[in-house]
Chains A and B, each alone.
Chain A
């Protein structure tokens, strides 16, 4: 009996209705619409209303993914997030319970912007090991909860949202099959992307927490450099492993960090820029939610069609990176 392969069979997304435009940010920060657009590609992003947490978006996206797959049961729920509802416990059990999925295993995946690819890999591994027949993988973030309203370098980039997929056990020959992964990390660069306070490192000092240390920080220049190098390197290695010539890639779905990073990665790989799916202009960088959100928008717009060879790649805090290769299935993204 051959090893089962994870097959994508459902996709759902959730965005909060509130739109934050560049013009609105320029009213309170020293920035401009032109500066943000030319340097990031972002025109607007979404923001949750007061009282809305990550699990609320995760449940909404999860419901839609289950409906898209036309299934009511899964064997495992994984939630990739940087902004869990609480430091403890994980958000996934709550999401699984509210989705009515019963006492299934459920855990969070913490790999910041690479979280969705890491979660996909874990889910595909559980399917290959026959620990699960069907898995719900959700990337969900309320980044607005960790962004300092005064920090123009991060406030213009990040947004809130969630995207979810349903994977089922199948074969490598069918559309939707996840054909391979390439994951990596380099903890020596942990300081590039971080929330300094709130964890055991800060508590171990015995000092009271500094309020400023509770915000997300990012060192833009080295993140740009490492993101391009690692995404291009990882995606290129994966292409070799799955035996796809670079010109056979129909769509490149990169983590929606910055349009100039996405174009640099595509250029480095040799993928034409117009094959890169771009969704960040409307939603900003939604971290672990960015790849399923981009896939959902592209599927709805007809940019992803059944049979397309899709190359996914992400880079995030840790630092972490990861890539995945799949053949796009016939599905309706909801």
Chain B
């Protein structure tokens, strides 16, 4: 798992939703953060615009944790 992508995603979540970075790790589940489909849509748009990684909200909704999301993004970066 790319540490850089992990840091980016965690920072994005901290900035957008005011959460404490110390409480976020690859094991953090989106369900436990009470992230709904609209939050995943916002994250998908931000990931594409800021990091240039084209990911859809459906794809983000298919993973359960921050770590799984980073793996999904990693695979997309490699594929590109």
Q: Which residues of A contact B (CB under 8 A)?
A: 39, 221, 224-225, 228-229, 232, 260, 264, 267-268
Contact = CB atoms under 8 A, between A and B. Distances in A.
Given A260-B38, A267-B16, A225 B44 contact: yes
A232 B38 contact: no
Contacts of A39: 38
Top 6 A-B pairs ranked by shortest CB distance? A228-B45, A268-B49, A225-B45, A39-B38, A224-B41, A264-B42
A232 B46 CA distance: 11
B57 interface: yes
- Give chain B's interface residue range (CB within 8 Å of chain A): 10 to 19
Given A221-B57, A267-B16, A229 B41 contact: no
Nearest to B15: A267
Interface of B: 15-16, 38, 41-42, 44-46, 48-50, 57
Q: Chain A: interface secondary structure? A: helix
Nearest to B42: A264
Contacts, number: 26
A260 B16 CA distance: 11
A268 B47 CA distance: 11
Contact of B41 (A225, A232, A267, A268): A225
Given A39-B38, A264-B42, A229 B49 contact: yes
A225 B58 CA distance: 12
A229 B45 contact: yes
B39 to A, nearest CB: 9
A225 B57 CA distance: 9
Contacts of B15: 267
A232 B49 contact: yes
Nearest to A258: B38
A290 to B, nearest CB: 20
23 contacts: A39-B38, A221-B41, A221-B57, A224-B41, A225-B41, A225-B44, A225-B45, A225-B57, A228-B45, A228-B49, A229-B45, A229-B48, A229-B49, A232-B49, A260-B38, A264-B42, A264-B45, A264-B46, A267-B15, A267-B46, A268-B46, A268-B49, A268-B50
Contacts of A232: 49
A319 B42 CA distance: 20
Contacts of B41: 221, 224-225
Nearest to A228: B45
A216 B41 CA distance: 23
Nearest to A227: B45
